[in-house]
Amino acid sequence: MGRGSVASFAILCIALVTACGRPQVSDVGPELPSGPVVTALGTRFTLWAPHASKVFLEGDFNGWSTTATPLAANGDGTFSVEVAGIGDGTRYRYLLVTSSGSLVRNDPRAMRVEPDLSASIVYDQGAFHWTDGGFTAPPESSQVVYEMHVSTWNDPSGTGAGTWAAAQTKLDHLAAVGVNMVEVLPPVQFPGAYSWGYNPIFPFAPETNYGTPDDVKRFVDAAHARGIGVIVDIVHNHWGPDDLPMWCFDGACLGNGNGGIYFYTGARRETGFGPRPDYGRAQVRNYIADNSMMWLRDYHADGLRWDSVVNIRRANNADLPDGWALLQRVNDDAHTKASGKIMIAEDLQNYDAITRATAQGGAGFDSQWDPSFFYPLKSALVTTNDADRDMNAVAGAISHGYNGQATQRVIFTENHDQVAPQNGADNRRIPALVSPADPGDYYAQKRATLGAAVMLTSPGIPMLFMGQEFLESLPFPFGPAQAIDWSKETTFAGIQKLFHRLILLRKNGAQNTRGLMGNHTHVFHVNNAAKVIAWHRWDQGGPGDDVVVVANFSTVAFQNYVVGFPRSGTWHVRFNGDWTGYSPLFDDTPSNDVNAGGPARDGLPFSGAVGVGPYSVVILSQ
């Protein structure tokens, strides 16, 4: 039989169960995941709707009949049916019979939806042909992350019409810069044509404006082919707030103004961004945990970045134990079922327990965004007068960490929130903050690259925001507008070369800067008068490992600035941030190899004189 004949036979059997038996419609126990699952026979549907008395499946396979395909009640609030002969691409909805009347609903677990949200679409997760077998993401100690918004990263129209396919064409650019992890802003279905993705309405369905689920997989597959891992940003501290398919899903809102079975009621409901999921319900916890595993398993994501974790673990200045337990569960799941994936939290509260192991009572994340790096460093970069820069604050930013582990923090000088003026007048790109009238001038280039060099030599997992590598100064828009001017890739080709060099050193690409991947950091020199700071990075120590970084936060060039060194002998200059090869506007202050010896200094056994230009970093190793 052809596909249509099989589907027609299945529908006939559903209507005449006693004549055909039950092979075409089967009860599915509550231990199986809800949502559509393509099987060898067809597709199995399971829905959680505890306040519905009956549930029917309607779709293009049964002429959108509201009665032809009933789901069987499992006795635990779920309903299920398996329909033979249908699979990938089948359009469907549910009709729920409730005390509030009959309700037509999309599937909250739909893995694909129509662009106009008129129907859910069955998607066969197992049908895509992957070519990335054997790929593993680089170790956390050598990861360099690139935060990217699919809609605006490669969008020649400037209207927010970027797609996965368009983004894929720029992966060679990332590989050339040296980035080895790309983090995509939330890629799931949101209402309307444009969004950053932080208002999800179908957490299991990729955003239709960006392309199909297979397009997502093609992007990941292509990234892996270039040695680049993919981190997916997911949002489970709130959903919506608008056009939520699960709002009062089965007719019971559970009180005036409340959202029913998927959401908290009362004071815990609101986050300020949208309604908070009810982590106290096992079915909601399962929903979130299954979503997390879907991205890691079915889309081959190499990690997840969890948005606003503080709103999962706390509400109204009180702890949410059920939210904390959920975080522990999803991290344990990732580490046991999908080992090698990185789980990152955006908590922003400097709470060590976020990245403490669950066995020790922590939430179990591998890393977390670190505000204590960003804010002091940003202040030092954008402050107008040298005298007002605080090198002690910069020293604290460099040395800050969680639980004594360098990779437990993600560090940055720009991110999506901090380059959007809509979030506040101070939220702009570093070049635009330094030189608003001309964000490509000497000072903008100098201080933006100074910040990048400090970030890429400090302990932590460094993260760039898209376009940062060629001095992008355009704001990141909330609405459709140009976010990236790719002509700057040519205009500031030297700046991109600077980033490439820094990233190569950060990853120990020449086998002489292993310390930049190490766990040890000692900020040994802080001169707040001269605005010079120096630190030592190392893993095990010794030649090819020990790294000394000297940073000048002033407009004064130093020809022979004496600092301490941990070992005697020749220290080679691996990077001079004042080289005119990076920009014709730079000063080309000489920075020669240093023969460390002589008296002890800065608490280190040896010393030497370093040449360091204005607003520049010099990196040395043996």
- Is the CB of residue 278 less than 8 Å from the CB of residue 254? no
What is the predicted pLDDT for the residue at 19?
A: 33
How far apart CA 578 and CA 615 sit, in angstroms, is 8
Q: Which tokens hold the place of 109? A: 């677990």
H/E element, 550:
strand 547-552
Using one digit for the tens of pLDDT, what is the confidence trace for 512-559? Answer: 999 999 999 999 999 999 999 999 999 999 999 999 999 999 999 999
Q: What confidence tier does 143 reach under pLDDT thresholds 50, 70, 90?
A: very high
What does each C-alpha distance from 69 to 7, 89, 122, 248, 561 come to in angstroms? 12, 18, 16, 23, 80
Percent helix, percent strand, percent coil in the chain, to nearest 5: 30, 25, 45
Residue 128 has pLDDT above 80, yes or no: yes
Question: What is the average per-residue pLDDT within 260-288?
Answer: 97
Q: What confidence tier does 33 reach under pLDDT thresholds 50, 70, 90?
A: low
Residue 176 has pLDDT above 60, yes or no: yes
Using one digit for the tens of pLDDT, what is the confidence trace for 341-372? Answer: 999 999 999 999 999 999 999 999 999 999 99
What is the predicted pLDDT for the residue at 319?
A: 98
Q: Which tokens hold the place of 521? A: 């950091």
- Is the CB of residue 228 less than 8 Å from the CB of residue 181? yes
Q: What confidence tier does 475 reach under pLDDT thresholds 50, 70, 90?
A: very high
How far apart CA 263 and CA 279 sit, in angstroms, is 8
CATH number attached to the domain at 514-621: 2.60.40.1180
CATH number attached to the domain at 140-506: 3.20.20.80
- Categorise residue 615: left if φ over 0, alpha if ψ from -120 to 50, beta otherwise: left
Q: Which tokens hold the place of 540? A: 């095990």
Give the range among 26-35, 249-258, 345-354 with minimum mean pLDDT.
26-35
Q: Which tokens hold the place of 314? A: 């706390």
CATH number attached to the domain at 3-121: 2.60.40.10
What is the predicted pLDDT for the residue at 598?
A: 86
Residue 162 has pLDDT above 50, yes or no: yes
Residue 6 has pLDDT above 70, yes or no: no
For residue 543, how many C-alpha atoms fall within 13 Å in the half-sphere facing its CB?
A: 6
H/E element, 527:
strand 520-527
What does each C-alpha distance from 607 to 128, 594, 604 come to in angstroms? 59, 9, 8
Of the chain, the percentage scoring pLDDT greater than 70 comes to: 95
Residue 397 has pLDDT above 80, yes or no: yes
DSSP state of 80: E
The sign one gets for the Cα dihedral 578, 580, 584, 587 is: positive
Residue 8 has pLDDT above 70, yes or no: no
Using one digit for the tens of pLDDT, what is the confidence trace for 42-86? Answer: 999 999 999 999 999 999 999 999 999 999 999 999 999 999 999
What is the predicted pLDDT for the residue at 399?
A: 98
Q: What confidence tier does 14 reach under pLDDT thresholds 50, 70, 90?
A: very low
Choose among 261, 266, 256, 231: nearest CA to 245.
261
- Average pLDDT in the chain: 94
Residues 6+ apart with CB under 8 A from 78: 30, 34, 46, 47, 48, 49
Q: Do 3-121 and 514-621 show the same overall fold?
A: yes
- For the beta carbon of residue 550, count every other beta carbon within 10 angstroms: 22
Domain boundaries, the chain: 3-121, 140-506, 514-621
How far apart CA 429 and CA 423 sit, in angstroms, is 12
Using one digit for the tens of pLDDT, what is the confidence trace for 203-220? Answer: 999 999 999 999 999 999
Choose among 173, 224, 220: nearest CA to 499.
173
pTM for this prediction = 0.94
Residue 23 has pLDDT above 90, yes or no: no
Question: What is the average per-residue pLDDT within 302-329?
Answer: 98
Using only C-alpha atoms, what is the Rg of the chain? 27
Q: What confidence tier does 35 reach under pLDDT thresholds 50, 70, 90?
A: confident
Question: What is the average per-residue pLDDT within 155-168?
Answer: 95
